[in-house]
Structure 1
């Protein structure tokens, strides 16, 4: 939480070199506000505060606190402004020690004094808002920030609206966080400036929590344009996927890949799948093959199968065969051997198809054994080995998924075999 805060404490913790200036400035406050007379910081009190500041600057926090405690013993003789400055120095030291609860307590005592410069009151309210954020007291932070905004006039700026948005976001009040953040962005853009990156990160997070993916995508589009970071490209691609804009999803991730941003295993797998889904299977196969060759993606049965099937979809059956054969050797069941057999038959390598089909049947555990018997029978038929083909088709007829086709092929092959025999007997 600490790194999200803006200019913490620097506004309200006056350095000692500024104290004398504040004392003189305090007198002018009476001219600006006749209703509230601000007393001066006397030299005697100033010197005691100066000693505490010097000790703090030397890293002697305990001694600095003791010096302030000595000042506090004379509180009854001090005016409101002197008391306020004393507590201001307490707060400064407590903050440097990361004792935020004590810093908050001290700052509260600063604003409890009535006769202090308005500038000190405002800066202290702002610091209280920031410290309350660090203490995770978000309601208190919002309360002080709203007090500050009500009185600050033209001092209200983009950063203060961001702080308010952060407090609401931390409370999980995402809707309330949205408006001040957008105001901050609008103010910045009105000055022809670019919103800070962490503001857009917060805006993206708010829209995500509000379940508005289209808005998340819009913010990410800006972040890609302004900051061009790998994670924003990948997040944008994912959001397009959530919005079912698959072409945009693929194009965005492809651009990221070309830029060298897609390096993780999961992202490479996603992009290869996107290529296939969007009917660019050859690119999907090439990408995954390279990823496996580079050692980023494992050469598993599943990944090899994906490459082979992608190549088949791309009508690159010959390129698919060695990949499918390698995948089949890694598989315990015969399903990939069966797929290899069918691919070999498709390119008219009937001898290879027969070997693969027989291997598939020997391994077993086939999802569709009848189809493998059909492939075996058709391969034998194309080699004019009719008897072997009939045996394979008769085996295929024992399975529901292939029964009808197997019976048709059996009848057809028998007729072909009879015709061949008659021609042979006629010497033709």
Structure 2
């Protein structure tokens, strides 16, 4: 049912003396809504009101409003009734909430409307104030609606919980969310989401995770809830449960975004399963789910390094280095090439590190270069590189030891330095 139909139905029911479907009663006691006498507008006002109804039914909302605004009611009941009608029609017009609120407040403050009309006006004031982010006013009118009608409603409790959340009153958010849950006939994820958010904002991550578990149990087909649950576990530093949840989501095909795949890879690494983390990263890079850039390539290289898949690490450090011309990646590649005794390639990577960007210690790279030359029997070049390394404070101590070692080896091999 659209807004226009809802407003019209409420107004017609009011005129005909009918009632809207009543929310669940809070108690069997007699409430003020039941003690209000049914009243009708004066004949003069009634003619104008009837004309306004006819225009509204023909979708001539502005004309209906013009007809109502021309009325100059004298009695309090007539004033309240016309103000309510004007406010209700403005409530159905986009961008006129402020005007609607003004007229509806007049109707409520006069306090002469019949039971259902007064109750519906209070609730509409609550709804409009929520939409206008006047949360304290919304809560006031919802409280008045419940007190007047002795009824409760899931949507009202949910909106009150939302208002309390926006006001950062998280304990009250939980209270009203629980009332929404208790009163609902079918599970609605709204109050559960508000509870989880309230616990999250209160930094009670374990409690937030418990609510996230409940959401997954009630709404297992929504992929976002699985990701959300994993995030709550992660915030609570329960990385095993977080990984388990993300792995289920992955196997069910629920992962879609780059950040979700990165999160899964990160969790494998945090749980000391680097090889699986690297495989996930490699897959999403190959499939184009994540852009192949310096960051993603260096992360993959580092993960393969942790997994002791040295050749893979060498390859991806090389890709990251070539893409960025970053000396750090060339240096890491050179170091791993030395570990693999691929000395010629190590020399090339070390030289590129010296020529690249962001180099912090030329001496450390010169040490790698010196060792590569040395193991290739290029003692003169090794000596030259180690002399350069000895001039860098970060590498001078290591360089001194290698300097004498290179000299001794060259002398033994009969090589003039």
Tell me if 1:100 matches 2:93. no
2:210 to 200, 204, 218: 218
| Counterpart in the other structure of 2:159 | 163
1:199 to 169, 177, 191: 191
| Counterpart in the other structure of 1:426 | none
Instruction: Report the CA distance shift for 1:157/1:270 in structure 2 as closer, same or farther (over 3 A).
Output: closer
Give yes or no for contact 2:7–2:92 (8 Å, CA) kept in 1.
no
Could you tell me how far apart the structure 1 residues matched to 2:181 and 2:4 are? Answer: 20
Task: Return the TM-score normalized by structure 1.
Answer: 0.74
Instruction: Report the CA distance shift for 1:414/1:57 in structure 2 as closer, same or farther (over 3 A).
Output: same
Could you tell me how far apart the structure 2 residues matched to 1:403 and 1:16 are? Answer: 92
Task: Return the TM-score normalized by structure 2.
Answer: 0.76
Give yes or no for contact 1:52–1:65 (8 Å, CA) kept in 2.
yes
Could you tell me how far apart the structure 1 residues matched to 2:130 and 2:102 are? Answer: 14
Instruction: Report the CA distance shift for 1:13/1:129 in structure 2 as closer, same or farther (over 3 A).
Output: farther
2:278 to 282, 285, 303: 285
What is the CA-CA distance between 1:362 and the residue it aligns to?
5.5
| Counterpart in the other structure of 2:37 | 38
SS at match of 2:10: coil
Instruction: Report the CA distance shift for 1:314/1:118 in structure 2 as closer, same or farther (over 3 A).
Output: same
What is the CA-CA distance between 1:56 and the residue it aligns to?
0.9
Give yes or no for contact 2:41–2:81 (8 Å, CA) kept in 1.
no
Question: Which ranges of structure 1 fall in alignment gaps of 5 or more residues?
Answer: 1-5, 24-30, 422-428
What is the CA-CA distance between 1:57 and the residue it aligns to?
0.7
| Counterpart in the other structure of 1:52 | 52
RMSD of the alignment, in Å? 4.1
Deviations 1:293-312 (A, max 9, x none): 33343433443333223222
After superposition, where does 1:135-174 map in structure 2 within 5 Å? 135-153=132-150, 155-174=151-170
| Counterpart in the other structure of 1:317 | 310
Deviating more after overlay: 378-387 vs 49-58 = 378-387
Deviations 1:121-162 (A, max 9, x none): 333322232233334443333222222222322x22332222
Rg larger in structure:
1
Instruction: Report the CA distance shift for 1:304/1:110 in structure 2 as closer, same or farther (over 3 A).
Output: closer
Deviations 1:192-242 (A, max 9, x none): x31x22333333333344343333333333333433444444444444333
Could you tell me how far apart the structure 2 residues matched to 1:209 and 1:313 are? Answer: 35
Give yes or no for contact 2:4–2:92 (8 Å, CA) kept in 1.
no
Tell me if 1:349 matches 2:353. no
Say how many residue pairs are matched. 399
Question: Which ranges of structure 2 fall in alignment gaps of 5 or more residues?
Answer: 20-29
